[in-house]
Amino acid sequence: MRPGIRRFLLSKLFLIPVGAVLLYTLIGFILAPLVVRWYLPKYAREQLKCEASLGKVRLNPYLLQFELNGFSLKGPDGGPLVGFGRLYLDCELTGFFHWAVHLKNIQLEKPSINIVVETDGSLNFAALAPKPSEGKPKTSSSRPLGWILGTLAITDGEVTVTDRRQVTPAVLSFQNLDLELKTLTTLVDEYGTYSLEAGTREGETIGWQGHLSLAPFHSNGKITFSGFRTASLWEFVQNIVNLEEPQGKLAISTDYWLSAAQTPVHLALENFRVDLSGVALKLTGTEKPFFELNKFEIDSARFDLASRGLHINQFLVDGGALHVGIDEAGRSKLEQVIRSKPGQQQGTGTPPAEAEAGVPASPVDSPPWAINIENFDIKNFAFSLEDESRSLPLTAGVSGISMHSKATIEVGAKALVTIKDLSTELEGVRWGVKEAHRPLFAAQRFFLEGGEINLGARTFSVARLGLSNGHIDVAVDQHGKINWERLAAARTKAAVHTAAQTLVDSEGAGGRPEAAAHPMAEDKDRGSTATEQPAKEAVTPGQTTHAPPPI
């Protein structure tokens, strides 16, 4: 070897750079992975009171690539919190020209998040929350370090939410979660794209895609929820509602626009749509559902937070039934839907707090909320009522309800409701005594056309009103009371005794089921009368009535 080359190889000019490179290589390839494997479990154990485990750790100091495999974090109770199969980071030095960390590529494979709401309402992730600092936060005038993200890909993820506050712990799990973000940065006016897809074993899916900017924060895109079972939502409210596992599926989709560039935050929704179908609600311990809904739809709705406006093009209820039952004490079955709290009795409770003098309940200067419904439609909806709290048990029903109208609602310092183009048709209307073979009132068809309601002006007008193929029965008993009056009277011991005695007398006199049920006495010497007024076709021309002022 030539003396000149030998002197160069042994000089500090050569040995120091070579030593630095070797040291950098040793630290990057060997020492840094060992430190990560030692420090992460230690930090989790001492600072978070959790247990962390991880597999192979690889670091390439020359390509600025980092890889971590088989990571899992368990809470203080030993339950899983987070984990993933593989994390890969690929960094670039070009970000330092923008005073930012440039992550060219992030890959996260098979991540899992397990969120648990404990019986006391706390979250299992509370252990990971940073402790509040006692001193004042330090402020720095230096420019914060920015971030530049080239591509973020999350594949085959899983998110599980468990609510242990319910009688039976509710579990909702999303599998096959895929997320892709591209060109996301904290640099001003730089936009990126994102796409999220996830689903459950029952076929429920979530989709989210659009554009995103962090400085200032702005996002626009489309969100879809499809195939969600009402039973999945019911699992999280078992302690609140007194319902069996319901049937039905829900789908929601909307285009959105969200911007925090100005104050207040601007949020707008376009093409908002809700589809709810096949719903059946049944009280616990009952055999038949009290509410059924074939189809509910909100279509082409628009919402603007800044202008406080909601416009609905189509509001549709198509097919269904509502069955209302009232017991002898006057309690409706609908009141049993919400479970009462322990020790809480009906009719008791803490009275609402009165508003302080001089303090308005709501800001008067703020503009009112405006709701416009272009088409409000109800089709083929049935209703039935059984009221045991009357002196004579009442039954009523409508086999088919159809309605169409337009509505405008303003909610502010004063609520204003206007309904126009109201048309209603009722089919199979009946009203009478529960055990009677013939209702006191019945009509094959009742219709209303050209109606208009203005609650602000307290006016109601109708262009055409009709009734066809019906009858009404009116009877006066020996006490001079009309059967309709006793049907409307509340159930009391005296009323029940009088009604029962009248039924016995009627059965002894004639023995007809109709007389025993209404009852209708036919003895002229006792002053009883019975009239029947058939209504084949009755039409009333348009008229306007003014509601009386409130008392």
Domain range annotation of the chain: 308-336+367-551
Distance (Å, whole) CA 336 – CA 142 = 61
| Contact indicator for 432, 438 with CB cutoff of 8 Å | yes
Of the candidates 160, 153, 204, which has an alpha carbon nearest to the alpha carbon of residue 179? 153
Distance (Å, whole) CA 539 – CA 551 = 33
Give the strand pairing for 170-185 and 146-163.
antiparallel
| Contact indicator for 411, 369 with CB cutoff of 8 Å | yes
pLDDT value at residue 340: 74
> Which helix (H) or strand (E) element contains residue 483?
helix 483-488
* Global confidence as pTM: 0.77
Of the candidates 290, 479, 502, which has an alpha carbon nearest to the alpha carbon of residue 392? 502
For the chain, what is the largest distance between any 2 Cα atoms, rounded to a whole number of angstroms?
148
Q: Where are the alpha helices (DSSP H) in 48-154?
A: none
> How many CA atoms lie less than 13 Å away from 443 in the CB half-sphere?
18
**What confidence tens digit (pLDDT) does each residue in 152-189 have?**
999 999 999 999 988 889 999 999 999 999 887 777 66
**What confidence tens digit (pLDDT) does each residue in 54-112 have?**
999 999 999 999 999 999 999 998 999 999 999 999 998 776 666 778 889 999 999 99
Tokens describing residue 102: 């440039």
Confidence of residue 151 (pLDDT cuts 50, 70, 90): very high
pLDDT value at residue 189: 66
* Mean pLDDT computed over 146-151: 83
> How many H helices and E strands in the chain?
7, 21
Burial of 534 (0-12, 13-18, 19+ CB in 10 A): exposed
Q: What percent of the chain shows pLDDT beyond 70?
A: 79
Identify the residue whose tokens are 């009952």.
Answer: 286
The residue ranking higher by pLDDT, 427 or 350, is 427
The residue ranking higher by pLDDT, 293 or 17, is 293
Identify the residue whose tokens are 């984990």.
Answer: 83
Highest average pLDDT, of 165-179, 207-221, 252-266, 394-408, comes from 394-408
Distance (Å, whole) CA 303 – CA 313 = 12
Residue 344 DSSP class: -
Tokens describing residue 399: 């086999």
> How many CA atoms lie less than 13 Å away from 139 in the CB half-sphere?
2
**What confidence tens digit (pLDDT) does each residue in 253-285 have?**
999 999 988 888 899 999 999 999 999 999 998
Confidence of residue 16 (pLDDT cuts 50, 70, 90): confident
Residue 391 predicted with pLDDT over 90: no
Q: What percent of the chain shows pLDDT beyond 90?
A: 53
pLDDT value at residue 491: 72
pLDDT value at residue 477: 80
**What confidence tens digit (pLDDT) does each residue in 464-520 have?**
999 999 999 988 888 888 888 877 777 765 555 555 555 444 444 443 434 333 333
